[in-house]
């Protein structure tokens, strides 16, 4: 063993110690006592949860109580309303929302008066394009939360991951990521060889066609592409499957479950998440990336983590949960749209809640992609956003107008305190009729396409958005590469 390898092992630290850390910030309504209470009162909870799932007046009342609970630190005595609320939201997502986050957001907005704001979890949600754009262009204050709900740390998420931090610590970590990995100069030299490398490792027996490019293959291709460009390594098919599990077809959907739901499931999902995190670190070490990760941690100065494994785990979230997961969703959007089918947003629509999405004639779509792949990809992300929303917090006390927080009342004013979570919804902002003409039509030729809010910023002037995804160009390049391999696209006539 070389001296540098010994140094890396010493700086790396103990993975067993790192992954066995105790939970942080366990609120009373998510304690094990509350979990036992949930199971003891299961029958009553199911009844009230079903009512919350279908009665808007009841879900508003529970949300109002939830706001008070959040302000008080979510003590144990608020646990019953949390049970009913979470069950109600699960029913709304699965039954009323057809498992679509976009549909759920629209239905919740209507339930709270149909205005610019609604309440969910521990925060207020906004959707108007200009308001969302201004938030993304601001110096955001962040907290450890997803979907305006306190994140399950450290069992599901490392508490100091890039998405949760702000200020000078965030700047130092982001700079290290850009400098060593995501700056275009770091990966553009590998791009010309990506398609051939991808074909050599993952080409199916029938070649790349819309029929053979199923969700699994699409996700594996994205996993291969992101790691190839960022790290210069070629993942095996088995390693691709591991990395692809960070996406929506893997565990992404259960990462965001609050601790209460994780404990109701006896932490079985958390154990799967921990295994994925460990397996991903094993993939990185198998490709000799340990020294790189150690050196990146050393470069953080005062924000250097006690052990490199801590920083490595945080970086893997940025690369895989955000980078691979988001790009996988975008790639699958494009392939589905080429088939004339949908992804998270149902194309047929659901009445007033979600109007139907309209497309050009199906036979023209491959040629439309070939004529301008970047525009096709951007419009696919606008129509069906891979990252539907993001969480920050209000920096000061704020008065919200036009939100109904009562059982039978009307929309009115709501005062939220500084530190309250604020969720801004990119997916709905991208269909704001005040900005986009015919917003429910798929049109890559729309003149103001770069006003779409994707990759946590607007593409008409990315420099205005401090937290815009540092891998935005890489993400588009990977999607372009995967879709260009598809025979129907390769053989298409440019429209």
**Tens-place pLDDT, residues 144-186:** 999 999 999 999 999 999 999 999 999 999 999 999 999 999 9
Residue 89 belongs to some domain of the structure: no
- For residue 3, pLDDT over 50 is answered with no
For position 341, what pLDDT does the model report?
Answer: 82
What is the model's pLDDT at position 353? 64
Place of tokens 């029929």: 211
Q: Which two tokens stand for residue 217?
A: 């293959």
The angle subtended at Cα 354 by Cα 100 and Cα 53, nearest 5°, is 55
Number of Cα atoms under 13 Å in the Cβ half of residue 470 = 24
Judge whether 160 lies within some domain. yes
Inside any domain, residue 11: no
Q: Residue 164 belongs to a domain with what CATH number?
A: 1.10.630.10
Residue 249 domain-assigned (yes or no): yes
Q: Per the domain annotation, does 87 fall within a domain?
A: no
454's enclosing H/E stretch is strand 453-454
pLDDT digits (tens, 9 = 90+) for 375-388: 999 999 999 999 99
User: Whole-angstrom Cα distance, residue 115 to residue 112?
Assistant: 7
Of 250, 278, 239, which Cα lies nearest the Cα of 158? 278
Nearest in space to 182 (alpha carbons), one of 315, 305, 331, 321: 315
C-alpha distances out from residue 304 to 76, 249, 285, 297, 318, Å = 36, 33, 20, 6, 17
Determine the pLDDT at residue 323: 94
* Lowest mean pLDDT across 33-47, 261-275, 352-366: 352-366
Q: Give me the pLDDT at residue 248, please.
A: 78
Q: Which of 288, 287, 278 is nearest to 316 (CA)?
A: 278
472: pLDDT strictly greater than 70: yes
Q: Phi then psi for 48, rounded to 5 degrees?
A: -70, -30
Is 425 among the domain residues?
yes
- The confidence score (pLDDT) of residue 25 equals 84
Q: pLDDT tens digits, residue range 305-327?
A: 999 999 999 999 999 999 999 99
Identify the pLDDT of residue 151. Answer: 93
pLDDT of residue 6: 47
pLDDT of residue 19: 96
Q: Given pLDDT bands bounded at 50, 70 and 90, which one contains residue 1? A: very low
Domain total of the chain: 1
pLDDT-based confidence at residue 8 (cuts at 50, 70, 90)? low
Give residue 340's pLDDT band: very low, low, confident or very high (50, 70, 90).
confident
Pull the structure tokens for residue 252: 């992404």
Residue 403: per-residue pLDDT: 94
Instruction: Identify whether 453 is part of a domain.
Output: yes
Q: Which domain holds residue 152?
A: 129-490
Per-residue pLDDT at 221 exceeds 90: yes
Region 439-467: what's the mean pLDDT? 94
pLDDT at 65 over 80: yes
pLDDT at 250: 83
Q: Is residue 182 part of a domain?
A: yes
**HEC per residue, 231-296:** HCCCCCHHHHHHHHCCCCCCCHHHHCCCHHHHHHCCCHHHHHHHHHHHHHHHHHHHCCCHHHHHHH
For the chain, the maximum distance between any two Cα atoms, rounded to a whole number of angstroms, is 71
User: What mean pLDDT do residues 359-372 have?
Assistant: 93
Contact 123, 369 (CB under 8 A): no
The mean-pLDDT minimum among 187-191, 218-222, 383-387 falls in: 383-387
Flag whether the pTM goes above 0.85: yes
Cα pseudo-dihedral 486, 489, 491, 495, rounded to 10: 180
Give the chain's mean pLDDT: 93
pLDDT at 455: 94
pLDDT in the model for residue 251: 87
């Amino acid at each position: 063993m070389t001296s540098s390898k010994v140094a890396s092992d010493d700086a790396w630290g103990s993975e067993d110690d790192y992954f066995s850390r105790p939970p942080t910030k366990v609120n009373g309504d998510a304690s094990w006592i509350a979990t036992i209470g949930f199971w003891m009162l299961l029958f009553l909870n199911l009844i009230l949860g079903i009512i919350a799932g279908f009665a808007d007046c009841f879900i508003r009342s529970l949300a109002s109580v939830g706001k008070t609970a959040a302000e008080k630190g979510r003590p144990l005595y608020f646990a019953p309303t949390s049970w009913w609320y979470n069950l109600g939201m699960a029913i709304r997502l699965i039954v009323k929302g057809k498992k679509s986050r976009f549909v759920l957001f629209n239905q919740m907005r209507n339930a709270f008066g149909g205005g610019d704001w609604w309440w969910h979890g521990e925060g207020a949600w906004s959707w108007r394009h200009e308001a969302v754009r201004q938030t993304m262009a601001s110096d955001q204050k962040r907290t450890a939360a997803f979907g305006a709900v306190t994140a399950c740390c450290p069992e599901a998420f490392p508490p100091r991951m890039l998405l949760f931090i702000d200020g000078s610590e965030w700047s130092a970590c982001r700079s290290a990521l850009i400098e060593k990995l995501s700056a275009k100069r770091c990966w553009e030299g590998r791009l010309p060889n990506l398609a051939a490398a991808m074909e050599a490792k993952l080409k199916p027996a029938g070649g790349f066609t819309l029929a053979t490019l199923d969700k699994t293959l699409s996700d594996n291709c994205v996993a291969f592409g992101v790691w190839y460009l960022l790290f210069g390594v070629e993942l095996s098919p088995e390693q691709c499957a591991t990395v692809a599990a960070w996406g929506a077809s893997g565990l992404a959907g259960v990462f965001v479950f609050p601790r209460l739901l994780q404990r109701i499931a006896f932490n079985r999902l958390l154990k799967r998440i921990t295994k994925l995190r460990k397996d991903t670190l094993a993939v990185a070490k198998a490709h000799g990336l340990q020294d790189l990760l150690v050196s990146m941690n050393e470069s953080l100065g005062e924000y250097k983590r006690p052990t490199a494994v801590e920083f490595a785990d945080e970086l893997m979230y940025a690369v895989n949960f955000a980078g691979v997961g988001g790009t996988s969703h975008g790639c699958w959007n494009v392939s589905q749209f080429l088939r004339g089918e949908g992804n998270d947003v149902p194309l047929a629509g659901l009445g007033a809640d979600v109007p139907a999405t309209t497309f050009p004639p199906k036979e023209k779509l491959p040629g439309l992609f070939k004529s301008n792949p970047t525009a096709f990809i951007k419009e696919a992300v606008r129509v069906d956003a891979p990252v539907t929303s993001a969480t920050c917090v209000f920096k000061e006390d704020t008065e919200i107008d036009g939100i109904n927080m009562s059982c039978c009342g009307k929309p009115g004013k709501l005062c939220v305190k500084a530190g309250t979570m604020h969720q801004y919804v990119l997916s709905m902002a991208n269909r704001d009729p005040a900005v986009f003409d015919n917003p429910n039509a798929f049109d890559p030729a729309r003149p103001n396409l770069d006003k779409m809010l994707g990759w946590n910023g607007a593409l008409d002037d990315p420099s205005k958005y401090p937290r815009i995804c540092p891998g935005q160009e890489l993400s588009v390049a990977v999607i372009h590469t995967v879709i260009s391999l598809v025979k129907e696209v390769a053989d298409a006539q440019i429209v």
